[in-house]
Amino acid sequence: LKRFIYSQLQEDHKIRHYVGKNLSNAGISDIRIERKADQIDLEIHTARPGVVVGRGGSGIESLRTGLQQDLGNNRQIRINVIEVTRVDADAELIGEYITQQLERRVSFRRVVRQAIQRAQRAEVEGIKIQVSGRLNGAEIARTEWTREGRVPLHTLRANIDYSYRTAKTIYGILGVKVWIFKGEVIPGQEEPVTPSPSQPRRRQQKRRQQFEDRSNE
């Protein structure tokens, strides 16, 4: 059983690594893998489905062929592409945006502020972003984070979308963590519960973003 689980996890890693490497510009949010007898079903959530599908479906066929060669078997691979409609409410895509900007040497405070503004326009309940490393080329590495709205990380029914990514800069590697609160999931309901328009939302007034230094923790 252990060998079987190990082989499945290893195959999952190969699939995710291959897709991420060959579709790095497609805005991949999530890759879901399901297996049947002699078939692998891939569900790729992407912000740019046209990049994945290609002209006339050539992109999917090329991806399928490459995966079969990389995995070293002839199992049938079915690929389903799903478009991510709320790009700015997706933690993985927000994290990708932040790392891309950091690698272009944009100030981390400016990048985080822009990311939070984008998430607020997508009407998320709350967002928290943490950046660690030699921020803006500082000699000593530190960790800073900021939060807007409510992000209840200790509530089991909270629907939290989490992402961790790394940015490779000339000063070293920066770690980026993103938490997005999308509402509460009540048993028996599939969709997260969001406050009704009649209820006043907290922090309606705009305020300056506050960054907290957590270097000494």
Give the pLDDT of residue 197. Answer: 42
Q: Where are the domains of the chain?
A: 2-83, 87-213
Give the pLDDT of residue 4. Answer: 86
29 in Cβ contact with 45 (< 8 Å)? yes
What are the angstrom distances between the C-alpha of 188 and each of 39, 152, 185, 191? Answer: 32, 21, 9, 9
Closest CA to 42 of 55, 53, 33, 52: 33
> Which residues, 6+ apart, have CB-to-CB distance to 35 below 8 Å?
8, 41
Give the pLDDT of residue 163. Answer: 95
- Domains 2-83 and 87-213 fall in the same CATH topology: no
Give CA–CA dist 106/162, Å, rounded: 23
Give the pLDDT of residue 192. Answer: 56
From the centroid of its chain, how far is CA 95?
6
The Cα angle at residue 177 between residues 120 and 159, in degrees rounded to 5: 60
What is the third-level CATH fold of 87-213? Ribosomal protein S3 C-terminal domain (3.30.1140)
Q: Give the global pTM.
A: 0.80
The maximal CA–CA distance of the chain, rounded, in angstroms, is 58
Give the pLDDT of residue 96. Answer: 95
Give CA–CA dist 96/48, Å, rounded: 14
What is the third-level CATH fold of 2-83? GMP Synthetase; Chain A, domain 3 (3.30.300)
Give the pLDDT of residue 204. Answer: 45
What are the angstrom distances between the C-alpha of 215 and each of 36, 80, 89, 134, 136? Answer: 47, 43, 28, 11, 15
pLDDT, block means (10 residues), the chain with 217 residues: 87 92 90 89 92 89 90 86 92 95 94 94 93 94 94 92 95 96 80 49 51 58
